């Protein structure tokens, strides 16, 4: 039976809106015309109010060809209604009503729109009786967001006595992954290449757990784990998966194997350590075919750089006008600056200020935030210091107007105790350094060390014409963290305060970066590097 004409259906439905939802009532019996002040025209099929006094735009479609227009018309009519009634978006919602077969065409598009739209959007299948009159409506279950496989911050390190034992361990891990619902796992093979006599199990496997798709995960995993360790707050299922893997390996009784907890950023430290080398990657689930990715992609996944998870290294760009990406960009930056409260506050304040000025332009940031000056000296002195030092580089470039460039610096104020004395006071001995490294608390000790040395994180900003290099004629600003929060001092608007801020972070009238500080104190850096290097290289 062919459905009746759309106007016949509409007239019958408008008198029986409770078939769709209890409490739904029409604003008027006919179509609701909207003004044409913005170059468009049309009428809402049915305008209604619900039991919460919200306005409800109901779009009725009786054929597959007309169903394709539904989203366009719903978008248009809700926007015009907002303008006509001066309503906030949370006071308007929309409903699409269509024949059951027409939802084959509508389901994917409506599901996508419902997730990202500022208005509540729902769909209903209209059911007809034998005479073609509306007899009821079934709410359409919209599709959930497509599952995005990505590496989470749930990581672990396993050490094996031989390559063969590592392969055997990977077979066990892969089997557990399959049993728990085809988990996405990504791992890197690490071989000890120097100082091997210090390590009884020199073949490492760095493992990261991917997001768990709870629709296909096993009940055993989702039922939970009654063990001694606390849940990872944001990644409970992934943490439980790692617990299951570790338990199975522990029961395997592989002689000499051991395991240690890990976190994003540790793999980069190991890659920088001359005693270790990454030999390859393995994966299950979405990462089963690691050949589909470039090696640098896999490395970034494991270090957390792709989404700022590493709390060490991050590079990203976004436009403030793309709301969902901008929100994610801000979160990625916060995560990458974790443990560095000064830079986190200063960068957040800078972004708050420049984002309205940039409009639909671009903002980019590069962050390297190790929060571990002692390790920089141990591994970097004397030839690699500059590449291991903390940094923030950012630029905000509008389509028109002034560009803002910002550089994060760890500056010496000319005061503080000697480097060896400060290191010994904070870290006591190499064993205490190792215990803090494995406990993930080095960033707390690092803050103590910087305070003793007179080193502080600041942001240095220059503002000048867009798409031009920084110059002396630019406005220069200093962002400094105080107890009350971030403050900015401008050479243009308040030169006196700017000079005072400059003096507070400078040594003898010039800004001395941490790299320059180490060079100035090269003998002290050599003493610290020699004292700790032998022990750390044995780790």
* CATH classification of the domain holding 171: 3.40.1310
Q: Could you tell me if residue 308 is inside a domain?
A: no
Q: Could you tell me if residue 164 is inside a domain?
A: yes
Residue 367: Cβ within 10 Å count: 27
Indicate whether 118 and 80 sit together in one domain: yes
Indicate whether 189 and 267 sit together in one domain: yes
Q: Could you tell me if residue 1 is inside a domain?
A: no
Q: Could you tell me if residue 307 is inside a domain?
A: no
Indicate whether 334 and 361 sit together in one domain: yes
Indicate whether 233 and 126 sit together in one domain: no
Angle between helices 419-427 and 430-439 (to 10 degrees): 60
Indicate whether 335 and 481 sit together in one domain: yes
> In this structure, what token pair is assigned to residue 531?
């004292």
Q: Could you tell me if residue 144 is inside a domain?
A: no
Phi, psi of 293 (to 5 degrees): -110, 155
Indicate whether 364 and 282 sit together in one domain: no
Closest CA to 139 of 221, 22, 305: 22
Indicate whether 462 and 436 sit together in one domain: yes
- Residues 335, 314: Cα–Cα separation, whole Å: 9
Residues 6+ apart with CB under 8 A from 168: 254
- The list of the chain residues with pLDDT below 50 reads 225-233, 308, 537-539
Tell me which of 116, 139, 162 is where a domain ends.
Answer: 139
Indicate whether 434 and 357 sit together in one domain: yes
> In this structure, what token pair is assigned to residue 195?
């100082």
Q: Are 372 and 448 in contact (CB under 8 A)?
A: no
Indicate whether 375 and 477 sit together in one domain: yes
Q: What's the pLDDT score for residue 161?
A: 95
85 exposure class (CB count in 10 Å sphere: 0-12, 13-18, 19+): exposed
Q: Could you tell me if residue 253 is inside a domain?
A: yes
3-state secondary structure (DSSP) of residue 359: coil
Indicate whether 332 and 477 sit together in one domain: yes
Phi, psi of 407 (to 5 degrees): -130, 125
Tell me which of 97, 112, 139 is where a domain ends.
Answer: 139
Residues 6+ apart with CB under 8 A from 228: none
Indicate whether 232 and 108 sit together in one domain: no
Q: What's the pLDDT score for residue 494?
A: 92
CATH of residue 118's domain is 3.40.1350.10
Indicate whether 167 and 279 sit together in one domain: yes
Residue 134's domain spans which residues?
Answer: 6-139
Q: What's the pLDDT score for residue 467?
A: 64
Tell me which of 84, 105, 139 is where a domain ends.
Answer: 139
């Amino acid at each position: 039976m062919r459905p009746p004409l759309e106007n016949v259906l509409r007239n019958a439905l408008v008198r029986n809106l409770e078939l769709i939802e209890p409490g739904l009532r029409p604003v008027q019996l006919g179509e609701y015309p909207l003004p044409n002040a913005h170059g468009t025209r049309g009428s809402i099929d049915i305008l209604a109010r619900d039991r919460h006094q919200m306005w409800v735009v109901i779009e009725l479609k009786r054929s597959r060809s007309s169903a394709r227009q539904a989203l366009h018309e719903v978008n248009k009519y809700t926007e015009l209604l907002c303008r006509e009634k001066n309503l906030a978006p949370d006071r308007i919602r929309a409903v699409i009503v269509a024949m059951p077969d027409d939802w084959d065409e509508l389901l994917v598009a409506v599901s996508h729109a419902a997730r990202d739209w500022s208005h509540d959007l729902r769909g209903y299948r209209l059911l007809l009786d034998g005479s073609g009159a509306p007899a009821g409506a079934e709410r359409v279950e919209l599709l959930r967001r497509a599952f995005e496989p990505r590496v989470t911050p749930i990581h672990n390190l396993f050490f094996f006595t031989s390559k063969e034992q590592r392969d055997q361990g990977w077979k066990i891990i892969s089997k557990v992954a399959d049993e728990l619902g085809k988990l996405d796992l990504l791992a890197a093979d690490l071989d000890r290449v120097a100082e091997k006599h210090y390590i009884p199990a020199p073949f490492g496997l760095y493992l990261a757990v991917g997001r768990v798709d709870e629709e296909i995960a096993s009940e055993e995993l989702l039922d939970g784990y009654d063990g001694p360790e606390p849940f990872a707050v944001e990644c409970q299922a992934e943490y439980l998966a790692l617990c299951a893997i570790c338990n199975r390996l522990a029961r395997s009784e592989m002689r000499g194997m051991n395991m240690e907890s890990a976190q994003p950023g540790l793999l980069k430290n190991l890659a920088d350590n001359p005693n270790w080398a990454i030999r390859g990657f393995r994966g299950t689930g979405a990462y089963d075919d690691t050949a589909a990715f470039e090696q640098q992609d896999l490395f970034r996944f494991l270090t957390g750089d792709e989404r700022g998870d590493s709390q060490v290294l991050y590079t990203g760009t976004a436009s403030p006008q793309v709301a969902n990406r901008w929100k994610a960009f801000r979160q990625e930056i916060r995560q990458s600056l974790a443990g560095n409260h000064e830079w986190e506050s200063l960068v957040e304040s800078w972004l708050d200020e420049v984002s309205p000025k940039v409009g639909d332009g671009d903002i980019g940031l590069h962050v390297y935030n190790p929060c571990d000056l002692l390790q920089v000296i141990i591994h970097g002195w004397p030839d690699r210091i500059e590449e291991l030092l903390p940094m923030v580089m950012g630029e905000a470039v509008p389509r028109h107007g002034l560009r803002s460039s910002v550089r994060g610096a760890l500056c010496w104020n000319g005061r503080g105790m000697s480097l060896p004395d400060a290191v010994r006071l904070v870290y006591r001995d190499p064993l205490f350094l190792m215990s803090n490294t494995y406990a993930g608390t080095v960033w707390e000790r690092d803050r103590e060390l910087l305070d003793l040395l007179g080193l502080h994180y600041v942001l240095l900003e220059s503002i000048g014409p867009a798409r031009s290099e920084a110059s002396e004629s630019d406005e220069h600003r200093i962002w400094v963290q105080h107890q009350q929060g971030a403050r900015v001092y401008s050479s243009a608007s308040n030169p006196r305060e700017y000079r005072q801020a400059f003096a507070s972070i400078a040594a003898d009238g010039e800004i001395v970066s941490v790299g320059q500080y180490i060079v100035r104190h090269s003998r002290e850096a050599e003493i610290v590097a020699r004292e700790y290097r032998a022990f750390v290289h044995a780790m």
